[in-house]
Amino acid sequence: MSSDPVRRPASSQDKAQPAMTHSTVSPVLANPQRHHTAIFLLLLALLAVAPFAIYPVFLMNVLCFALFAAALNLLLGYGGLLSFGHAAFFGSASYISAHAAKVWGLTPELAILLGTAAAAFLGLIIGALAIRRQGIYFAMVTLAFAQMVYFIALQAPFTGGEDGIQAVPRGHLLGFIDLSSDLTLYFTVLAITFAGLLLIHRIIHSPFGQVLKAIRDNEARAISVGYRVTRYKLAVFVMSASLAGLAGATKAIVFQLASLTDVHWTMSGEVVLMTLLGGMGTVFGPLAGAAVIVAMQNYFASFGAWVTVLQGLIFTVSVLVFREGIVGVLARWLKKPL
Amino acid sequence: MKLTNTLLLSAAVAAISVPAFATDVKIGVLNDRSGVYADLSGEGSVIAAQMAVDDFGAAAKGINVTIVSADHQNKPDIASNIARQWYDQDGVDMIADVPTSSAALAVAQVTKEKNKVFIDSGAGSTDLTGKSCSPNTIHWTYDTYSLGKGTATALINEGKKSWFFITADYAFGQALERDTSEIVKAEGGTVVGGVRHPFPGTDFSSYLLQAQGSGAQVIAMANAGGDTVNTIKQAAEFGITQSGQSLASLLMFVTDVHALGLQTAKGLMLTEAFYWDQNDGTRAWSKRFAAKHDGKMPTMVHAGVYAGVLDYLKGVEATKGKDPKAVIDWMKGNPTDDPLFGKGSIRKDGRVLHDMYLFQVKSPEESKGPWDYYKTVATIPADQAFKPMSKDCSLVQ
């Protein structure tokens, strides 16, 4: 173990297309880049015209949750780690960013960055402790920490208890772009979410991502090959926590509100549901999952508690009939990784 | 075809030409429709709002009112999302009810930003007309101060001067305790102690034992809904009221008493803004309400929604339009008058001033029939029932 096992063993391979090099690890991933680029462009075009047809605040909600679900998917779908406490990162970032924008009067981009940094720091602490355990114990440890964060959010003086932090100003982006218009804010959120998604796409198709998948598929083998598995796990945990934080911090600015809902354990459950429904371990699955769940909550809001029942029903059907999730099934039909 | 068209056209012209003006008004009733406050607000508030529209004769006066409703699940984020969507997309002009302080504060914020009208009935936070006050908010029925004021003043006048608080450990419970302790001290009483329980709680025995051990004359419950109901049930098991201590609930509705039953709730002191069996006006209205609501009598929250919607429609009629500022200025400038709260007024900060009442829950022997639950102990006149205007509110100069 004295040598440097983190070093990429395949360092001599073609640098232009690093994702394709580890064909032994993940044979399905043969050249996924081209049609992914096409899908990303199509998605971007669709989302650019969408706010003129659909209520922009609803779309922003979808985008925030899409990023949140994609962050969890990075950990769950590619790292094989089921965190049941991601609301801690989402929520704490939203509190920090709301507080920074409202009380300290920071511009929205600084508030969002500060929230993300807080989530990253929290991810480092929680991650370092949680990755010492596997499987259900890992999930329980993350849940326990998330509950602690919830308790802090409920009791700390700056969070406002169950009132949350309200009337957060949307402010001016970079000090001069007024975000009070829904449309301007929408394109800001779209840019943030897209940057996040592209980053995740880059991470999972990088050598680091390949190692991650190797660890997910067979941890013992990855160790025997010489990887320091815990470092990789911690790194992906922190990345996932930061991106979840980015989503939460953005949401606080969009809705001008940070509330207990964001840190509650049901939020952790909801994002797992979005990921599984959309398709775990697929690039576009979390987006689809988030869109379906958020749309359901939004358009069926008048049914009240029945939304939860309906969600449960859909989840059951999804587990019984299509376990790969919406995008997973599509990928199987198209015989292409999505 | 041509004849039908002509007929339709002339009918439409006739319909339009009767009233002096015509306008569409959309009212959104936003409250808890599935959770702990569904009984005291919920569908009943929608019925109350519809009754206000009918009683006002809105259609005949050329005001075409539509009522929509939604469930905010007592969460501020859901409440603010729905309010935003209602204002942006669905053309809602006014939101009524909104129990749960956190949700109400969120709706007040969105309403101010979108310049619409928010008439709150279900929430209790004094912040709505205090540091979070808004030119677009009117707070109708009650608040934590007025509840504490009624109960505390009356009990201290009876000579019960030492108080012990059992408080739900969240912002609303703490605010309720804070407001009431101030009144207790101002009236010459003392607070001998207090204990905070996690929210929501299930086992209150250790808190009740501490309260019993404190020797306080009054045990005040600064909590709400299921917590209050559980505290009262367990207090009955400990025989607290039999041993001479008074149990005072700082936030309780007639539906809670209905759920508890008189055997458990008897003797309890509480303050409300409305009770169905007060006078002929309230009785007549409540019977009509109950007929539409499976025989359930209205709470003060339902009454507040009715009175608020009625006064808003009067404002729309008087100003011949629904410009939020004009309507609210009219409402604040003219006295309120309805069969449920009688005559009252709306203060500059949005607080509605009307009488509050201290009730005591009847024992099963005293009760003459279903929903006969309260006897009136005292009336707190409008000018004393509410917190004086505070400098925290930007509307108070």
Could you read off the pLDDT of B369-378 as tens digits, one per residue?
899 999 999 8
The DSSP secondary-structure symbol of B321 reads: S
Classify each residue of B279-307 as buried b or exposed e, where b means 16 or more C-beta atoms within 10 Å of its C-beta: eeebeebbeebbeebeebbbbbbbbbbbb
CB–CB contact B172 A162 (8 Å): yes
Task: List every span in chain B annotated with CATH 3.40.50.2300.
Answer: 21-142+279-353, 145-272+356-385
Q: What is the pLDDT of residue A19?
A: 43
Question: Nearest CA of chain A to the CA of B355: how many Å?
Answer: 28
The confidence score (pLDDT) of residue B3 equals 54
CA distances from B225 to A119, B39, B197, B221 (A): 35, 10, 14, 11
- Give A 238-257 residues with CB within 8 A of chain B: 255-257
Distance CA A193, CA A189 (A): 6
* pLDDT for residue A310: 85
Q: What's the rounded Cα separation, in Å, for the pair B86 and A156?
A: 33
**Higher pLDDT residue, B236 or A74?**
A74
B114 touches chain A (CB under 8 A): no
What is the pairing mode between strands B342-346 and B352-353? antiparallel
**Nearest alpha carbon to residue B223 among B283, B174, B261:** B174
Task: Grade residue A47 by pLDDT with cuts at 50, 70 and 90.
Answer: very high
Most confident of A86-90, A177-181, B101-105, B384-388: A86-90
Which of B75, B85, B132 shows the shortest C-beta gap to A57?
Answer: B85
pLDDT of residue B74: 86
Res. A6: pLDDT tops 60: no
Which secondary structure element, helix H or strand E, spans residue A126, and what is its range? helix A108-130
Mutate to test the interface with B, among A259, A266, A296, A306 (most CBs of B within 10 A): A259
Percent of chain B with pLDDT over 90: 69
Q: What whole-number percentage of chain B has pLDDT above 70? A: 95
Asked if the Cβ–Cβ distance from B132 to A305 is below 8 Å, we say no
Could you give phi then psi for residue A11, rounded to 5 degrees?
A: -65, -20
Do A301 and B174 make contact, defined as CB atoms within 8 angstroms?
no
Nearest to A277 by CA among A293, A263, A299, A297: A293
- The CA distance from A191 to A195, in Å, is 6
Put simply, whether A178 touches B (Cβ < 8 Å) is no
Chain A residues whose beta carbon lies within 8 Å of the beta carbon of residue B75: 259-261
B61 secondary structure, DSSP code:
T
Q: Is the pLDDT of residue A8 over 60?
A: no
Which distant-in-sequence residues (6+ apart) come within 8 Å of B15 by Cβ? none
**What pLDDT does residue A26 have?**
46
Say what the pLDDT of residue B82 is.
92
pLDDT recorded at residue B8: 55
- pLDDT at residue B20, as a whole number: 61
Residue B9: predicted pLDDT: 55
Asked whether the beta carbons of residue B85 and residue A262 sit closer than 8 angstroms, the reply is: no
Per residue in A120-139, pLDDT (tens digit) is 999 999 999 999 998 899 99
The C-alpha of B98 sits at a distance from chain A's nearest C-alpha, in angstroms, of: 14
Which of B68, B71, B72, B77 to mutate to test binding with chain A, by most A CBs within 10 Å of its CB? B77
Contact status, residue B262 vs residue B363, Cβ threshold 8 Å:
yes
Q: Number of C-alpha atoms within 13 angstroms, CB side, residue A312?
A: 6
Residue A259 to chain B, least CA–CA distance (Å): 7
**B81: chain A residues, CB-CB within 8 Å:** 57, 61, 255, 298
A167 CB neighbours in chain B (<8 A) are 109, 132
Place of tokens 């199987």: A332
Mean pLDDT, to the nearest integer, of B208-229?
A: 91
Residues of chain A positioned with their CB less than 8 A from the CB of B43: none
d(CA B285, CA A187) in angstroms, rounded, equals 52
Amino acid B355: pLDDT: 94
Q: CA–CA separation, A190 vs A47, rounded Å? A: 8
Q: What is the pLDDT of residue A230?
A: 94
Q: Which of B33, B37, B81 to mutate to test the interface with A (most CBs of A within 10 A)?
A: B81
What does the block give as tokens for B204? 């209150």
Helix (H, G, I), strand (E, B) or coil at B119: strand
Report the alpha-carbon distance of residue A155 to residue B174 in Å, rounded: 11
From the CA of B76, how many Å to the nearest CA of chain A?
A: 7
Alpha-carbon span A248 to A256, nearest angstrom:
12
d(CA A48, CA A46): 5
Strand order in the sheet with B137-139: B63-71, B23-31, B94-97, B117-120, B137-139
CATH level 3 topology of B145-272+356-385: Rossmann fold (3.40.50)
- Contact indicator for B254, B272 with CB cutoff of 8 Å: yes
B322, B25 contact by CB (below 8 A): yes
pLDDT value, residue A12: 41
Q: pLDDT tens for residues B329-362?
A: 999 999 999 999 999 999 999 999 999 999 999 9
pLDDT at residue A291, rounded to an integer: 95
Q: Rounded to whole angstroms, how far apart are CA atoms A241 and A201?
A: 16
Residues for chain A: how many in total?
Answer: 338
CA distance B278 to B257: 17
Contact B88 A163 (CB under 8 A): no
B204 pLDDT above the threshold of 90 = yes
Checking if the pLDDT of A20 tops 50, the result is no
Tell me how far apart the alpha carbons of residues B106 and B123 are, in angstroms, rounded to a whole number. Answer: 12
- For all residues of chain A together, what is the average pLDDT? 88
Residues of A in contact with B34 (CB under 8 A): 304-305
Rounded to 5°, the CA angle A33-A214-A36 comes to 15
Whole-model pTM?
0.85
Inter-chain CB proximity A162 and B170 less than 8 Å: yes
Report d(CA A213, CA A19) in Å as an integer.
12
Interface test with B, best of A162, A294, A309 (most B CBs within 10 A): A162
User: In this predicted model, what pLDDT tens digit does every residue of B35-84 receive, in sequence order?
Assistant: 888 889 999 999 999 999 999 999 999 999 999 999 888 889 889 999 99
Type of residue at B211: A
Q: Confidence band (pLDDT; 50, 70, 90) for B4?
A: low
Instruction: Average the pLDDT over each of A90-99, B240-249, B291-300 and give the range with the smallest value.
Output: B240-249
Q: Tell me: cis bond preceding B200? Omega within 30 of 0 counts.
A: yes
Element (H, E) at B304: helix B300-319
Question: What confidence tier does A31 reach under pLDDT thresholds 50, 70, 90?
Answer: low
Q: Which of B110, B108, B105 is nearest to A57 (CA)?
A: B110
CA distance A167 to chain B (A): 6
Query: B-contacting residues of A 22-61, CB under 8 Å?
Result: 55, 57-58, 61
Architecture of domain B21-142+279-353: 3-Layer(aba) Sandwich (3.40)
pLDDT at A32: 59
pLDDT, mean over chain B: 90
CA–CA separation, B349 and A208 (whole Å): 60
The 10s digit of each residue's pLDDT in B235-277 is: 988 888 788 888 899 999 999 999 999 998 988 889 999 999 9
Question: What is the nearest CA distance from A180 to chain B, expressed in angstroms?
Answer: 10
All residues of chain B having their beta carbon less than 8 Å from the beta carbon of residue A162 are 76, 102, 170-172
pLDDT of residue A34: 81
- Lowest pLDDT segment from A46-55, A75-84, A159-168, B23-32: A159-168
If you average pLDDT over residues B89-93, what whole number do you get?
94
